Structure 1
Amino acid sequence: MNPGQPADFASVPTIDMAGLFSGDPAARAEVADALARAAREVGFFQIVGHGIGEARRAALLSQAQRFFALDHDRKMDYYIGRSTHHRGYVPPGEESPDPNKPDRKEAFDLAFEMSWAEAAGTPMLGPNVWPDLEGFREAVYGYYEDAFAVGRALMEAFAVALDLPADQFSRHVTQPPSQLRLIHYPYDAEAEDAQGIGAHTDYECFTLLLPTAAGLEVMNGAGEWISVPYREGALVVNIGDMLQIWTNGEFVATSHRVRKVPEERYSFPLFFACDYHTEVAPLPHLVARDGAANYEPLQAGEHLYAQTIQTFNYLQARLARGEIALPAGARGTATFGQHARHGDAS
């Protein structure tokens, strides 16, 4: 298999990760090996046994429904464009990865909670913006903390499966710009079953997605789109750009897309990142094994910041006015993913 290229898989595996939380080293190793195998061959998998209970998931959905049911003007009180560090409400049309394909979804974005002093002026870091809704912050950030703990467990399992120290990756996850998005796809009577969010990879280490319906598709090595079935309570995990670079292409950031359908849906992705100033480069022992580094190093936070600037209209406007600047060496938004190899960005 070529670096960064998935196998010609026909389905996305489901892995019970409960063994990672046991006191049995053999059980932990078995789960770690299964996770790494899925990361190599598919770049996508679903996890159960993650420990995030039904009550926590239901509270997240309930609070998201409350917020998105507010009238437009009240939601705009929390408009992300009023934020200096990318927090708040994202109205329909604010994101434009492809300006020729308007998107009706709306979102609310938050991330790792930090004080201004801790953020020290670093882009994408700082305190969250919280709506004035009783119980919203507690329910939403409670879910964030639970999902973040699952992410750290995955980071350690990946390291162990690669014969690395357990903290090889997780030591770079202390106060990261790991973003949780509450996404609402309103009912759209005119929508047909067609592309919604175009083919892309995610910029961070990996994504932990809690969906409420089917619609996600991933591309295999042959360029075929494979549906990810909806499974109640499961989290969908996909490898992102950072882990593909760190593993010198052994783990695969697989191209994926979301179908556009009439039904109302919600989606809750946690984009699990490493700390802003982390240099991500192929690990030396993997380079020695492979005979060469397949990727140039990059700074994790600057890569994420550059991709975000190129995706959001309010940041593009700030860029045009000279209020912000793209980080040096910024890459385009289609740097990774096999969809470009197959000439299929749809």
Structure 2
Amino acid sequence: MPEAFTEVPVLDIAALRHEGGPGYADAVRELGDAARSVGFAQLVGHGIDPSLFDGLLDATERFFALPLEEKMRVHIARSTNHRGYVPIGEEVFAGATPDLKEAFDLSIDLPADDPRYLAGNPLLGPNQWPDLPGFREAVTAWYDAVFGLSRTVLRAFAVALGEAPDRFDRHVTTPPSQLRLIHYPYDASAADRPGIGAHTDYECFTLLRPTAPGLQVMNSSGTWLDVPLVEDAFVLNTGDLLEAWTNGVFVATTHRVRKVSEERWSFPLFFTVDYDTPVAPLDGFVREGRPPMEPLVAGEHVFAQTAQSFRYLRERLAAGAISLPEGARPLSSFGQEARQPV
């Protein structure tokens, strides 16, 4: 285990957008160091047009201001591929109290006749879209921009691991990388419970744009630390799949959102690889004293974790309508909480 970190580093990643250019090697090294020692970083110099975020925030505020019955018309349980509105109380992590948030979940928007969707893939297919002018366009523009940035970060991670920049590119054709639009309402009289409970992210890594503080991360000593809001920065955190690929060298850091002190909007893109991608420790990270972690199938892991944390999917599991993939891990199998002594 690395030494317990006490803060989340702020990294300028402008050089990552020009592979081989001045400063690229240093930016890669800093990114790798953050993934090894913290599992979190704040990224500036990312080059995303601020107007795209303005459009996203406006569209999101308009959607969540709709009457509940309008939002429920695109309830996530109306989909078979986990897309749509998530009301307060729908998501619960590892048996904890329901989260105090509402969300809208979407991913790569495939046509309804895509053979994987027709075959019942639980994470691929079309999005549900509300009947709200300009919403789809603003959200899609943001998704495309941040997905492009994520591909740049993935190539930098490959170099940081001693691999060729395109080591993981072969696994990024139609990945179910999910964008969440999250609304944390503020109510001073509400029960003091988390906006979102302690968890790791299931995918390769996450790029998050929040509008207010509230995010906390757990270091290796089990201490919760606040992540300050940095203007125009993306919060990056590595997830379960990169921890598995690196045999635990990159860490999937446990995090949560405490009870918010003001209304908060949050936009994580959970960047992952193609559903059927096998994920096993790379050869360079298996050695004496560090036995290989159990391999995963990327999409099966993401789906299994999701199915165990959403009420509507747990109901489908109980009814036998769906089943967990063979070898599915329980919630909280990664991260600092999983490593704490009992």
Equivalent of 2:295 in 294, 297, 305: 297
Which residue is equivalent to 2:135?
Answer: 136
Which residue is equivalent to 2:284?
Answer: 285
Which residue is equivalent to 1:44?
Answer: 40
Q: Is the 8 A contact 2:123 2:303 kept in 1?
A: yes
TM-score by length of 2: 0.94
Alpha-carbon distance in 1 for matches of 2:69, 2:193? 30
Which residue is equivalent to 1:124?
Answer: 123
Taking structure 1 as reference, are residues 193 and 7 closer, same or farther at Cα in structure 2, changes over 3 Å only?
A: farther
Q: Following superposition of structure 1 onto structure 2, how do residues 318-337 of structure 1 map, counting pairs within 5 Å?
A: 318-337=316-335
SS of the residue aligned with 2:114?
helix
For structure 1, list consecutive stretches of 5 or more residues without a partner in the other structure: none
2:110 aligned with 1:111: no
Following superposition, the deviation at residue 189 of structure 1 comes to 2.1
Following superposition, the deviation at residue 123 of structure 1 comes to 1.6
Letter in 1 for 2:170: R
Following superposition, the deviation at residue 285 of structure 1 comes to 2.4
Moved over 6 A (4+): none
2:248 aligned with 1:252: no
Following superposition, the deviation at residue 217 of structure 1 comes to 1.0
SS of the residue aligned with 1:25?
coil
Following superposition, the deviation at residue 112 of structure 1 comes to 1.1
SS of the residue aligned with 2:286?
helix
2:223 aligned with 1:224: yes
Q: Is the 8 A contact 2:83 2:106 kept in 1?
A: yes
Which residue is equivalent to 1:171?
Answer: 170
Q: Following superposition of structure 1 onto structure 2, how do residues 79-90 of structure 1 map, counting pairs within 5 Å?
A: 79-90=75-86
Q: Is the 8 A contact 2:280 2:294 kept in 1?
A: yes
Following superposition, the deviation at residue 124 of structure 1 comes to 0.5
Alpha-carbon distance in 1 for matches of 2:95, 2:285? 39
Higher mean C-alpha displacement, 301-310 vs 182-191: 182-191
Alpha-carbon distance in 1 for matches of 2:192, 2:315? 32
Which residue is equivalent to 1:151?
Answer: 150
SS of the residue aligned with 2:269?
strand
Aligned residues: 339
Following superposition, the deviation at residue 197 of structure 1 comes to 2.1
Following superposition, the deviation at residue 47 of structure 1 comes to 0.3
Alpha-carbon distance in 2 for matches of 1:99, 1:59? 36
Letter in 1 for 2:335: G
Q: Is the 8 A contact 1:159 1:166 kept in 2?
A: yes
Taking structure 1 as reference, are residues 343 and 75 closer, same or farther at Cα in structure 2, changes over 3 Å only?
A: farther
Following superposition, the deviation at residue 198 of structure 1 comes to 2.3
SS of the residue aligned with 1:324?
coil
TM-score by length of 1: 0.93
Letter in 2 for 1:334: S
SS of the residue aligned with 1:339?
helix
Following superposition, the deviation at residue 26 of structure 1 comes to 4.0
2:201 aligned with 1:199: no
Which residue is equivalent to 1:238?
Answer: 237
Which residue is equivalent to 1:8?
Answer: 4
Taking structure 1 as reference, are residues 274 and 286 closer, same or farther at Cα in structure 2, changes over 3 Å only?
A: same
Alpha-carbon distance in 1 for matches of 2:296, 2:94? 25
Alpha-carbon distance in 2 for matches of 1:312, 1:327? 16
SS of the residue aligned with 1:19?
helix
Following superposition, the deviation at residue 222 of structure 1 comes to 1.9
Taking structure 1 as reference, are residues 118 and 16 closer, same or farther at Cα in structure 2, changes over 3 Å only?
A: farther
Q: Is the 8 A contact 1:8 1:222 kept in 2?
A: yes
Give per-residue Cα distances to partners, 1:310-334, cap 9 Å, x unaligned: 1111111111111111111111011
Alpha-carbon distance in 2 for matches of 1:58, 1:343? 44
Give per-residue Cα distances to partners, 1:108-136, cap 9 Å, x unaligned: 00001212325342221001111111111
Which residue is equivalent to 1:263?
Answer: 262
SS of the residue aligned with 2:104?
strand
Higher mean C-alpha displacement, 110-119 vs 155-164: 110-119
Letter in 1 for 2:308: Q
Give per-residue Cα distances to partners, 1:161-207, cap 9 Å, x unaligned: 22201111222111111100000011212147664322211110011
Q: Is the 8 A contact 1:43 1:253 kept in 2?
A: yes
For structure 2, list consecutive stretches of 5 or more residues without a partner in the other structure: none
Q: Is the 8 A contact 1:190 1:262 kept in 2?
A: no
Higher mean C-alpha displacement, 62-71 vs 168-177: 168-177
Alpha-carbon distance in 2 for matches of 1:209, 1:328? 31
Letter in 1 for 2:114: A
Equivalent of 2:21 in 16, 19, 25: 25
Which residue is equivalent to 1:317?
Answer: 315
Aligned CA-pair RMSD? 1.7
Q: Is the 8 A contact 2:174 2:274 kept in 1?
A: yes
